[in-house]
Amino acid sequence: MKAVNLIPGERRRKSRDVVGRSGGAALIVLGLVAGLIALVVMYGSSSHQISRQVGEAAVLTAKTNAVEARTGRLNSYTSFVAMAEQRMRTVSQLVESRFDWSHALHELGRVMPAGTALDSLHGAVGSAGSQVNATSSASSSSSSSTASTSVTSSTPPGSTPTFTVSGCATSQATVAQTLQRLRLMDGVSEVQLQSSTSSGSSSGGGASAGGGSCPAGDPSFTVNVGFAALPAAPAISAPAGVTPAAAHSHGVKVQVSVRSKGTPR
C-alpha cells in the first residue's frame, strides 16, 4: 500500500519556510551567537568579580597588618596583665585552700564539756584521703611530707587536717561526753579515742597523755579528731584586683576559753 501525504500542498511549503532557504544554518548561527554572548557575559562577570575581590583582599591585608602592628606595640601590656592575673589566681588559690585553724580552735573551745581540761593539742594538715590514725604523730609526719612535696600548696586541696587532743577529765563518763561533743565541731568528720586512762590505774597510760599531770583518780585521755578534706579552690576568673587591707576583717570571736589544767568550765 502506498503512503499518501494528507497535508495540503500549501501547508507543506510553510513548514519548509521555518528552516528557510538556508536549510536551518541561520538558526544554528543565531544559537551560536546567543550562546557566545551568554558565555562572554559570564566570563566578564567572573573577571569583574576577581578584580574587585583582589582589591578587597589587598585592602583587608593592609588593614590586618596595621592592626597587628598596633597590637604588637601593646603586647607588653597584655603580657603584664596576664602575669598579674596569673599571680593573683595563684595566690587566691593558695588562700582558698588553707585550713581555718583559728575557727577550728574556736570550735574546740566551744564544744569541750565542763569537767575537762586540755593538756596538749597537736594539729597537722595531712595528705589527701589520710584517715585518723591511732599513732597520729607518725602518720601526720609522713602524710605532711607527702602532701607538701608533690603539690602546689603546703596544705593542698584534699588534705585532711587532724587534731590530736590530750587532756584530763573528771571521769570516764566525761571522756565519753567529750567524744560526743567533739563530733559537733564544725567540719569534723571523725573522732577516735586513742586512750583514756585513769591516773590511778596500773597501766600508767596517763603518762602518754599528759605526763601523769592529771589529778589523782582523774582519767587522762587522748583523742584524734579528723576534719573533712580541704575543699578544692574554686576557679577564680581574673580577680578584680588586690586591695591593701586597712584593718583586719578576719578573725573569729572566741567565746569559750579552755583551761590547760583541770578546772571545770
Grid cell in block for residue 212? 601523769
Nearest approach in angstroms of CB 133 to another protein is 12
Count of CB atoms situated within 10 Å of the CB of 257: 9
- Which CB atom, from 66 or from 184, has the smaller least distance to another protein? 66
Nearest approach in angstroms of CB 89 to another protein is 8
Q: Helix, strand or coil for residue 126?
A: strand
- Which CB atom, from 71 or from 201, has the smaller least distance to another protein? 71
Distance, CA of 222 to CA of 214 (rounded, Å): 13
Buried b / exposed e across 157-187, counting CB within 10 Å, b at 16+? bbbbbbbbbbbbbbeeebbebbbebbeebeb
Nearest approach in angstroms of CB 71 to another protein is 5
Q: Which of 77, 65, 94, 109 is nearest to 258 (CA)?
A: 109
Nearest approach in angstroms of CB 242 to another protein is 4
- Which CB atom, from 122 or from 183, has the smaller least distance to another protein? 122
- Which CB atom, from 7 or from 138, has the smaller least distance to another protein? 138
